[in-house]
Structure 1
Amino acid sequence: MSINNKTFEVTEKHKRLVICLLNGITQKNDIINVVWYEQGGMVSDNNYHQLIHKFRNLLSDNQLPKAMLRTIPRHGAILDLSLLATDNDPVPAEEIVSLTEQAKKPFKLTTVFSGLITSITLFTKSLYR
């Protein structure tokens, strides 16, 4: 994964989490269904919370703000990309979506599959380099 010109290794579950968040899937249950799809919903909230905690630590280990992954109480999580802005390189206003607007986006199964297909395509291309 590459953020702000920093590249670092992530697990498959972290990739799925990021794909969800970038595609507007922010509700905890929807994230669980995508990240652990092969387990058919047999995942506890504890697994979700551990994933969020470990991803924040991964961000911190790579000199990125932990706060970039925000929890929305009784809803789920979002990525706050505005925290990546610097004085020299601000994030354009159209790319910054308010927390409430992003949290209200409806879950679309086609978005999930599109994200997974993109992820798989990029992964397979990286194998053949």
Structure 2
Amino acid sequence: MKEHHISRSNLKNLPGKDDVRSNKKRLGAYEVKKLMLLYLKQKRNITGDNIFTSLVLAGTLKSNATSIVGTMNGAHRDIPDCVKQAKAELYSTMVLEKDDITLIVYQEKLRKMFFSLALCTQIFK
């Protein structure tokens, strides 16, 4: 069972630098697309952390009938500057939505915001 799952999951050992990926491509999005290649357009869901979650990746996965849910780092370049610089009240929540992609911003501390991204395609609704 485990060997079948590993071979079907397209898992590989990554001993060093990947020469195939150009420096312009983001590592997190590149790895997610590479690992999910077998599962795209199968109505699957991906759960990611700060490294693997981005708005660009959500847009790409949306066109492949795959959803993504995950947290994002506050310094991430996909987060709009107006959101990063916003002065929100403590424990307040801001919800931004565009094309089925939802970005939830929660002011958890005075100087720290929590960012959560969710993509729910029409297939899952």
Q: TM-score range by the shorter chain?
A: under 0.3
Query: Which protein has the larger Cα radius of gyration, Structure 1 or Structure 2?
Result: 2
Higher helix share: 1
Higher strand share: 2
TM score, norm. by length of structure 1:
0.22
